[in-house]
Amino acid sequence: MDVQYARSGDVDIAYRVLGDGALTLVYVDGSFTNMEVMWEHPHYRHFCQRLASFSRLVLFDKRGMGLSDRAEIGTLEERMEDVRAVLDDVGAPQAALLGVSEGGPMSLLFAASYPDRTTALVLCGAEVKEEITDDWPWGELTRAEFEESVAGLPDRWGKGLSATTFTPDATDADFERRWWAKVQLQSASPRVAIAFQRMAFDIDVRHVVSAIAVPSLVVHRIGDRVCHVENARFLARTIRGAEYVELPGNDHGPYASSGGDIADEIQEFLTGVREPEEPDRVLATILFTDIVGSTDRARELGDRRWRELLDRHHELVRSQLERFRGREVDTAGDGFFATFDGPARAIRCGRAIVDSVGSVGLEIRTGLHTGEVELAGDAVRGIAVHMGARVAAQAAPGEVLVSQTVKDLVAGSGIEFADRGLHELNGIPGEWRLYAVT
């Protein structure tokens, strides 16, 4: 997934391509972008990988942001031309566009200007007009409220405070805030951020919408706290023949909770086929990790240094999960919950995680158990999950502890164990023999 550059006038636009499907899909994101940092979010990553499973997905950083040239923000028309430049560079005569938030107006303008190059238009949480006026009560702010907000932006920049409105339904609000803070800092300076917000606040594409003549899908969460649902309803009734799907929830980012429901709608609209239902119950190896003494370390280092160390910990863990083909299910505080379809790989991954985070002065406990789990969308549930968490709680610092089930399943693999005796596990009936990987 190498970074490549398309020339748009005097500006280089950074982009990446995922997947090799016959359909090219350009993800026109909203707000601020940095492809490197955004990829660190497991739900964003999973959402993009899901889109790439049925398309050739193109991600790019907008002009003035992220890995693209730190040029002036430019006009909406110039930014739309950046999409055309990326399409030219990937050799795609036509593509479908996924316009999210402020990327919605960019995509609308492109589809109206280049219908011959637009196979389809998908709008998700897409804005029509940000300013609240007498004839548009569904914006975000009045002009006076906007000016007050912009004046205070330098003091808020890099703190990730807007995560509470972008993904309010997230299970790990602290991770969302830290991730969004990092996106802000590594996408743009406060000066560029203000210039972008002024440009975006002045956008009004109501006059463009009726000119759209390509197949269109509008998807919106009914409680979206950034973009009022009436934006979507306006788009759906004004774009000729548009399909409209209204989903429950309050999140703005389509990747929230891995975006499975939104990805389903996009796939069916673009390909005519919905992702096959996964089996309700499967056998999986559960891995849990937890940093030893995290509270004391945080107090010792202070908030800023602890956040930096925690970010590094997350990078190292995710690197090993990717290496051993583990699936990250959740990140709660300073621990990880992941699944594997093979216990031997899960053990080796656990050992590699212990070693890699040890290189930055952290010790973790790691626990594994294999059992039947229930799949509910992107969630993984069942007694096996609780068992994995309880095993991890019994592990010593730097230890990878496994249940008898895991040990028995890897017989003949060459992995060796030390018997750690019988244990009573909180909430799990009976006594369980546990083993440390040696």
pLDDT tens, position by position, 348-367: 999 999 999 999 999 999 99
pLDDT band at 197 (very low <50, low <70, confident <90, very high): very high
- The pLDDT score that the predictor gives to residue 276 is 59
Dihedrals φ, ψ of 136, to 5°?
-150, 85
- The pLDDT score that the predictor gives to residue 340 is 93
**Percent of the chain scored above 70 by pLDDT?**
97
Tell me: the pLDDT tens digits for 279-323?
A: 568 889 999 999 998 888 888 888 888 889 988 999 999 999 999
Tell me: the pLDDT tens digits for 135-152?
A: 999 999 999 999 999 999
CA proximity to 208, closest of 77, 32, 116, 101: 77
- The pLDDT score that the predictor gives to residue 193 is 93
- The pLDDT score that the predictor gives to residue 144 is 96
- The pLDDT score that the predictor gives to residue 297 is 85
Q: Is the pTM of this model over 0.75?
A: no
User: How far does Cα 244 stand from its chain's mean position?
Assistant: 23
Statement: 281-437 belongs to CATH 2.40.110.10: no
Q: Comparing 167-171, 209-213, 384-388, 434-438, which segment has the lowest mean pLDDT? A: 167-171
- The pLDDT score that the predictor gives to residue 279 is 54
User: 438 exposed, middle or buried (CB, 10 Å; 0-12, 13-18, 19+)?
Assistant: exposed
- The pLDDT score that the predictor gives to residue 333 is 66
- The pLDDT score that the predictor gives to residue 259 is 75
d(C-alpha 76, C-alpha 105), whole Å: 8
Residue 275 has pLDDT above 80, yes or no: no
- The pLDDT score that the predictor gives to residue 278 is 55
H helix intervals, 272-342: 294-301, 303-323
d(C-alpha 319, C-alpha 196), whole Å: 33
Mean pLDDT for 211-230 is 95
Mean pLDDT for 180-201 is 93
Residue 394 has pLDDT above 70, yes or no: yes
CATH class of this structure's domain 4-271: alpha beta
Q: What are the domain boundaries of the chain?
A: 4-271, 281-437
d(C-alpha 432, C-alpha 388), whole Å: 12
Question: In residues, how long is the chain?
Answer: 438
